[in-house]
Amino acid sequence: MDGTVDDLNVRELRENLAEHLSRVAAGASLVVTSRGQPVARIVPYVMAEARRFGFMEGQIAFLDADEAVPMDIAASIAAELDPPA
Protein backbone atom coordinates (compact mmCIF):
# COMPACT_ATOMS: atom_id res chain seq x y z
CA MET A 1 0.00 0.00 0.00
CA ASP A 2 3.08 2.20 0.02
CA GLY A 3 2.58 5.62 -1.56
CA THR A 4 -1.13 5.35 -2.38
CA VAL A 5 -3.41 8.36 -1.99
CA ASP A 6 -7.07 7.79 -1.12
CA ASP A 7 -9.95 10.18 -0.49
CA LEU A 8 -12.27 9.52 2.41
CA ASN A 9 -14.90 11.55 4.17
CA VAL A 10 -14.80 12.65 7.79
CA ARG A 11 -17.38 10.06 8.86
CA GLU A 12 -15.37 7.18 7.34
CA LEU A 13 -12.20 8.45 9.02
CA ARG A 14 -13.92 8.75 12.40
CA GLU A 15 -15.55 5.31 12.22
CA ASN A 16 -12.35 3.50 11.19
CA LEU A 17 -9.61 5.72 12.56
CA ALA A 18 -7.30 2.92 13.77
CA GLU A 19 -7.48 1.15 10.40
CA HIS A 20 -6.72 4.33 8.48
CA LEU A 21 -3.83 5.27 10.76
CA SER A 22 -2.37 1.80 10.21
CA ARG A 23 -2.56 2.38 6.46
CA VAL A 24 -0.79 5.73 6.84
CA ALA A 25 1.91 4.14 9.00
CA ALA A 26 2.42 1.63 6.16
CA GLY A 27 3.02 4.49 3.70
CA ALA A 28 -0.41 5.52 2.38
CA SER A 29 -1.53 9.16 2.19
CA LEU A 30 -5.15 10.11 2.84
CA VAL A 31 -7.12 13.15 1.72
CA VAL A 32 -9.97 13.86 4.12
CA THR A 33 -13.06 15.45 2.60
CA SER A 34 -16.05 17.22 4.10
CA ARG A 35 -19.12 17.61 1.89
CA GLY A 36 -17.00 16.57 -1.08
CA GLN A 37 -14.33 19.23 -0.52
CA PRO A 38 -10.76 18.34 0.56
CA VAL A 39 -10.01 19.67 4.06
CA ALA A 40 -6.90 17.80 5.18
CA ARG A 41 -4.15 15.45 4.09
CA ILE A 42 -2.81 12.75 6.41
CA VAL A 43 0.68 11.58 5.47
CA PRO A 44 3.23 9.27 7.09
CA TYR A 45 5.41 10.89 9.73
CA VAL A 46 9.07 11.21 8.80
CA MET A 47 11.60 11.67 11.59
CA ALA A 48 13.76 14.73 11.10
CA GLU A 49 17.44 14.04 10.88
CA ALA A 50 19.32 15.34 13.91
CA ARG A 51 21.69 18.14 13.01
CA ARG A 52 25.14 17.91 14.38
CA PHE A 53 27.07 20.95 15.58
CA GLY A 54 29.14 22.34 12.72
CA PHE A 55 27.07 20.76 9.92
CA MET A 56 27.58 23.92 7.78
CA GLU A 57 31.34 23.97 8.28
CA GLY A 58 33.13 25.16 5.17
CA GLN A 59 29.92 26.45 3.57
CA ILE A 60 29.74 29.83 5.28
CA ALA A 61 32.39 32.52 5.08
CA PHE A 62 32.59 35.72 7.08
CA LEU A 63 34.11 38.90 5.68
CA ASP A 64 36.87 40.61 7.56
CA ALA A 65 36.06 44.16 8.67
CA ASP A 66 38.17 45.65 5.86
CA GLU A 67 36.68 43.49 3.06
CA ALA A 68 33.99 44.82 0.73
CA VAL A 69 30.82 42.88 -0.04
CA PRO A 70 31.06 41.43 -3.58
CA MET A 71 28.92 43.41 -6.04
CA ASP A 72 26.66 40.49 -7.03
CA ILE A 73 25.80 39.79 -3.38
CA ALA A 74 25.27 43.48 -2.63
CA ALA A 75 22.93 43.78 -5.65
CA SER A 76 20.97 40.71 -4.54
CA ILE A 77 20.53 42.09 -1.03
CA ALA A 78 19.51 45.51 -2.36
CA ALA A 79 16.94 43.92 -4.69
CA GLU A 80 15.34 42.02 -1.81
CA LEU A 81 15.24 45.10 0.41
CA ASP A 82 13.86 47.39 -2.31
CA PRO A 83 11.93 45.32 -4.87
CA PRO A 84 10.92 47.05 -8.11
CA ALA A 85 7.39 48.46 -8.13
Q: What is the pLDDT of residues 24-40, one digit of tens each?
A: 999 999 999 999 999 99
Q: Where are the domains of the chain?
A: 5-42
Determine the pLDDT at residue 9. 93
Mean pLDDT of the residues in the chain: 84
DSSP 8-state assignment for residue 17: H
CATH number of 5-42: 3.40.1620.10
Q: Which residue has the higher pLDDT, 47 or 20?
A: 20
- Looking at residue 74, its amino acid is A
In sequence order, what are the residues at sequence separation of 6 or more whose Cβ sits closer than 8 angstroms to the Cβ of residue 31?
5, 6, 7, 8, 38, 40, 41
pLDDT at 1: 45
Task: Kindly tell me if the per-residue pLDDT of 82 is higher than 80.
Answer: no
What 3-state DSSP class applies to 43?
coil
Whether residue 2 is predicted with pLDDT greater than 70 in this model: the reply is no
